[in-house]
Structure 1
Amino acid sequence: MELTQIRLLVSDFPTVYRFYRDTLGLKPQFEAETGPYAKLSPDSGHAAIALQDRSHMADVLERLGANPAGHRSLIALRVDDLDATHTELTSRGAVFVRDPIPMGDRMRVAYLEDPEGNLIELQEWLCPPS
């Protein structure tokens, strides 16, 4: 078995797509602003976030609630310089729910939400992972 991607089911596909592409700066595998599916990667290209229009998936499964309540996912992205990334993303319109703070002695983190309330954790590793 091989994990191929993590996919977020979204209700407002164009808005969420533009957030990940324009605000976070992830690179789309192909342009798909109107959906129903897209895959976007950071510059490293080692991982990807996929978006799927929630209503499209509801049609495929023939069942799926319209909108989940509360936080349903957290995406963690590692960055080299959390303060610089925080400044850059803020200038692109990102609104952080928690500015950079220490998380133990191994990393610093900051949190923001995408337009549908999915949490995004930005991590700056202070020590190499063990």
Structure 2
Amino acid sequence: MHAPARKLFPMLSALDFERALAFYAEQLGGRESYRFPPEGQPAFELGIGRIDGSPALHGQALRPASGHRVELCVYVDDVDATVARLAEAGAPVLLAPRDMPWGERVAYVADPDGNLVMLTRENVS
């Protein structure tokens, strides 16, 4: 039997680290839960790593040639208001808010590095 993972979270790459932090903290309300290194930039349960031109340790390109590999799901209180605020701040809206047959209201935006972010709220009937 394998031991369970102690912690699991996604890591995104960011060309403009400060802009990515502002998007997830200021625009989506993410809160800092730890820093590594302790004197370094904050990280969230969503890890954001700086792209600085250095080769990645794993040897793979940090950007896929096309398409996307990751889609983040963020539950919010008001999908429409969140999309409006993000659009006003310059985030591309990829799918306007709409009700889905499974009972959620969803919309898609892109973060500053083009990562897909699904904003959702369970519909209250």
Same fold (TM over 0.5): yes
Letter in 2 for 1:28: E
- Partner Cα distance (2:109, 2:13) in 1: 18
Q: For 1:66 and 1:89, how far apart are their aligned partners in 2?
A: 25
Q: Does 1:63 align with 2:59?
A: yes
Gaps of 5+ in 1: 41-47
Equivalent pair of 1:97/1:113 in contact (CA under 8 Å): yes
Residue 11 (structure 1) shift: 3.1
Which shifted more, 49-58 or 70-79? Answer: 49-58
| Aligned residue identity for 1:86 | V
Aligned equivalent of 1:118: 115
**Partner of 1:84: helix, strand, or coil?**
helix
Secondary structure, aligned partner of 1:20? helix
- The 5-angstrom pairing of residues 45-64 of structure 1 reads 48-55=45-52, 58-59=55-56, 61=57, 63-64=59-60
Check the 8 A contact 1:23/1:93 in 2, yes or no.
no
Secondary structure at the aligned position of 1:67 is classed as coil
Give structure 1 regions of 4+ aligned residues with deviation exceeding 6 angstroms.
Answer: none
User: More helix per residue: 1 or 2?
Assistant: 1
SS of aligned partner of 2:109: strand
Amino acid at match of 2:59: R
1:49 alignment partner AA: L
Q: Distance in 2 between matches of 1:28 and 1:73?
A: 21
Instruction: Output the TM-score relative to the length of structure 2.
Output: 0.72
Q: CA deviation at 1:111?
A: 0.4
Q: Which residue of 1 aligns with 2:97?
A: 100
TM-score (norm 1): 0.70
Q: Which of the two has higher C-alpha Rg?
A: 2
Matched residue count: 117
RMSD: 3.0
SS at match of 1:16: helix
Q: Percent of aligned positions with the same letter in both sequences?
A: 29
Q: Offset of 1:49 from its aligned partner?
A: 1.1
Provide the rounded CA distance (Å) in 2 between the counterparts of 1:83 and 1:6.
Answer: 26
- What letter is aligned with 1:6? P
Aligned to 2:28: 24
How far apart are 1:82 and its partner, in Å? 1.6
1:64 alignment partner AA? Q
